[in-house]
Amino acid sequence: MFAYGFQTYTARVTVHSLAGCFLYGAFLAKVLLVRSRKATPRWILPVAGGLLVTLIGVLWYTSALWYYNGSKLPFG
């Protein structure tokens, strides 16, 4: 993971790095589920999509929102 830019300087950077790594995995899983011809339970595809949306939100929260809020995370 460190070869792909994983950093652990602060808690925010660690959360952002982990969310980015999980985003790659979640996106791959979603693509494989969509392209799969195998019968899968109907609830898996919406869960995978929800996970992607959640991870994108976490990435936004730990990057753009942090930057535009003056380098502070608004918790609450």
pLDDT (tens, 9 = 90+) of the chain, 76 residues, equals: 556 667 778 877 888 888 888 898 899 999 998 888 788 888 998 999 999 999 998 888 888 777 777 766 666 5
Count of domains in the chain?
1
Nearest to 22 by CA among 33, 10, 30, 34: 30
Quote the tokens at residue 21.
Answer: 């790594």
Query: Cα 43–45–49 angle (5° rounding)?
Result: 120
Q: How far is CA 12 from the centre of its chain?
A: 14
- 73 is a domain residue: no
- 74 is a domain residue: no
Expressed as residue numbers, the domain containing 34 is 2-68
What's the rounded Cα separation, in Å, for the pair 21 and 6?
8
- 57 is a domain residue: yes
